[in-house]
Amino acid sequence: MRMRPTLSWTPSADLPPGTTDLGPVADAIGTGGVLVLSGAGISTESGIPDYRGEGGSLSRHTPMTYQDFTASAQARRRYWARSHLGWRTFGRARPNAGHRAVAAFGRSGLLSGLITQNVDGLHQAAGSRSVVELHGSLDRVRCLSCGAVSPRRELARRLGAANPGFQPVSATINPDGDADLTDEQVGDFRVLPCTVCGGILKPDVVFFGEAVPPQRVEHCRELVREATSLLVLGSSLTVMSGLRFVRQAARDGKPVLIVNRDPTRGDVHAGTRVALPLGSALTTVADRLGIPVDGRPAT
């Protein structure tokens, strides 16, 4: 029986309330040296749902775990059928105002780095550079046997040719690019092997139950050490993957600021949490600092 990952977190009653005052965020960014840590919440305005917000996907969807994927051919068939369909929509998502504002801060030399928990590539599409993809990216595929990496678009083409007529309809795409399909819709979807060695292909992302590569974690820790402050954008920080960097910054005495509409597991370490939509909030901060976003003159 497939078990639901333990991903829930219940806010305590004594957490400080959120604010609508963007002053501390503007001050931190204006000072420079800010390390940004972004989560699924920054991509919701691009049509990609988050995991835990209002209407989040975890209320109806159990993400694939690494253990299920590697142990079961049927689980891999279900995953690749759903992901193949989801990729058509996921791959068409475009950066929103939040991504564009972060890119503008970077172009202005105010960010020391950008770590994202997202696998959608939207920060890079908005123009951000040197993005650390903590959980990898859906636009790459890796072989679990030989380690060969190939473009997702190449696999999408191969899967389309191997599964002619596969046109199920799903109303829901999840943050991991997985579309909701029934077993009947999955049917006998054909899964393809690595073209190099015939091994099992997996998207180049960190599944639930899988560890982030140690060298990537250490690189992020170094970015925290080098930063003046840490700004969390659109993450509940429920899992340790991102929370550890918030805890590290707090231990080092560096200001932690969070912009997230709902309470987060990192609020106890933050000087402020702004409870506003990210796109409009970050655009407002850019305007206050006189930073043009995507060529739009600051107001």
> Percentage helix, strand, coil, to 5, in the chain?
40, 15, 45
Is there a binding annotation on residue 236? yes
Q: Distance between CA atoms of 225 and 112, rounded to whole angstroms?
A: 11
287 three-class SS: helix
Inter-residue contact 168 to 185 (CB < 8 Å): yes
Is there a binding annotation on residue 52? yes
Is there a binding annotation on residue 197? yes
Is there a binding annotation on residue 51? yes
Is there a binding annotation on residue 42? yes
Is there a binding annotation on residue 290? no
Of 61, 84, 123, 135, catalytic: 135
Is there a binding annotation on residue 58? yes
Asked about 135 being catalytic, the answer comes back as yes
Q: Distance between CA atoms of 94 and 161, rounded to whole angstroms?
A: 26
Is there a binding annotation on residue 120? yes
Is there a binding annotation on residue 50? yes
Is there a binding annotation on residue 46? yes
Is there a binding annotation on residue 146? yes
Is there a binding annotation on residue 174? no
DSSP 19: B
Is there a binding annotation on residue 54? yes
Is there a binding annotation on residue 49? yes
216 three-class SS: helix
Give the N- to C-terminal CA distance of the chain in Å, as an integer: 56
| Of 126, 108, 128, the residue nearest 29 (C-alpha) | 108
Sheet holding 34-38, edge to edge: 131-133, 111-116, 34-38, 229-233, 256-259, 272-274
Sheet holding 149-151, edge to edge: 149-151, 136-143, 201-205
Strands 256-259 and 229-233, sheet pairing: parallel
Q: Show binding-site residues for NAD(+).
A: 39-59, 117-120, 234-236, 278
Q: Show binding-site residues.
A: 39-59, 117-120, 143, 146, 194, 197, 234-236, 278
**Would you name the residues annotated as active-site residues?**
135
